[in-house]
Homo-oligomer: A and B are copies of this chain.
């Protein structure tokens, strides 16, 4: 019995899920660790080690059943649960998240949007109500919300999160470029776009440039 998967595995898990989904769509029904490792650019050994963290998903001499494996990984990642989300901030990024349709099919629902601006409040976007910020805490507590998507600037975000009184477990999907400080019942996943862009420029400009006087 293992209690926690390593961060290295967690970073790869959703990618397995995506490849398995694609294989299913192509009508495949089984795959070996060797083939899967080839299309994903890993080693077969690593694939087997990774999948073995959770249980015995494969069958000797056969490989893995793709549908079963996909489901199991989905369960491990918690996307078999419905997840109800609210958006904190209604700017352009929030708008594009609302308009992105890919989440719905995986059980993610955006229930409400909270914005500072009184002009926007009271209206709806795609059937989702835009509400005033001072109703956020009550809304979370009364509508089994478990995810807050943060798309407002970092100082405002930290301020609001710090003052939230919520006792259940809450996930924060954080697009603000800061490391939010949260109470222990919060978990945070960051999407730091500007850091991602810097990693790209490193790959463009930095790779052959590093040298240390020796």
Contact = CB atoms under 8 A, between A and B. Distances in A.
A93 B191 CA distance: 14
A171 interface: yes
A102 B10 contact: no
Interface stretch (A59-67, A72-80, A131-139): A72-80
A36 B13 CA distance: 31
Given A200-B171, A211-B1, A18 B195 contact: yes
A206 B171 CA distance: 12
Contacts of A209: 76, 78
A173 to B, nearest CB: 5
B92 A2 contact: no
B2 A203 contact: no
B189 A200 contact: yes
Contact of A202 (B10, B202, B206): B10
Interface of A: 1-5, 10-11, 13-15, 17-18, 41, 52-56, 76-79, 81, 83, 91-93, 95-96, 99-100, 102-103, 106, 108, 146-147, 169, 171-173, 177-179, 187-189, 191-214
28 contacts: A1-B211, A1-B213, A1-B214, A3-B211, A14-B194, A14-B195, A15-B192, A17-B198, A18-B177, A18-B178, A53-B212, A56-B213, A76-B209, A76-B210, A77-B199, A77-B201, A78-B205, A79-B198, A81-B201, A81-B205, A100-B193, A102-B177, A102-B194, A146-B204, A147-B200, A171-B204, A172-B200, A189-B199
